[in-house]
């Protein structure tokens, strides 16, 4: 799986064939802008990344419910990442609304997400993919006054779980 950031298109770098364009919705100011990008890259597979609970700028000004029409009307959207997934409960409100042609990709950014990975994976469809955000995991440890030495342990634990359970882990 080769995923390329939308930052490349800001520099007119072509997205290679048989690759995936990741669009971080934090950097998309409007649904019109998103629809424009999706039309321009209609022959590419798209990985949308929705920031939930994002505190740092930039941040989008539309809701998940506003995105439903976009998701249902664009068959090239193949993956939909959701930030700050700490448990299966965080995904339940999305799972039933996301069209079946799209794989949900929980973003693991906290110790809770790592510790609850089995429950998170269990509610996903056939394709089991997660995304690990190293920076946010480390920041979360600091914020919670946890020993930062645990950082490597969390990553090792998550990596081993994914390997044993045939889960693709994006980093």
* The predicted structure's pLDDT at residue 31: 93
Q: How many CB atoms are located within 10 Å of the residue 30 CB?
A: 12
**Closest of 111, 147, 21, 125 to residue 74, by C-alpha:** 21
Q: How deeply is 82 buried, as exposed, middle or buried, from its count of CB atoms within 10 A (0-12, 13-18, 19+)?
A: buried
Q: What pLDDT is recorded for position 10?
A: 84
Residue ranges, the chain, pLDDT below 70: 54-57, 59
| Per-residue pLDDT, 56 | 67
Predicted structure pTM score: 0.92
pLDDT at 55: 65
What is the per-residue pLDDT for 167?
A: 97
């Amino acid at each position: 799986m080769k995923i390329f950031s939308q930052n490349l298109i800001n520099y007119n770098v072509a997205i290679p064939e048989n690759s995936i364009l990741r669009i971080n919705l934090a950097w998309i100011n409007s649904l019109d802008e998103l629809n424009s990008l999706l039309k321009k890259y209609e022959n590419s597979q798209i990985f949308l990344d929705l920031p939930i609970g994002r505190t740092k700028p930039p941040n989008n000004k539309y809701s998940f419910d506003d995105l439903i029409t976009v998701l249902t009307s664009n068959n090239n959207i193949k993956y939909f990442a959701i930030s700050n997934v700490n448990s299966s409960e965080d995904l339940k409100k999305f799972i039933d609304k996301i069209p079946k042609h799209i794989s949900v990709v929980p973003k693991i950014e906290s110790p809770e997400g790592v510790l609850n990975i089995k429950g998170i994976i269990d509610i996903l469809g056939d394709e089991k993919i997660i995304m690990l955000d190293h920076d946010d995991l480390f920041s979360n440890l600091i914020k919670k006054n946890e020993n930062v030495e645990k950082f490597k342990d969390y990553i090792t634990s998550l990596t081993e779980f994914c390997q044993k359970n045939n889960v693709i882990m994006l980093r």
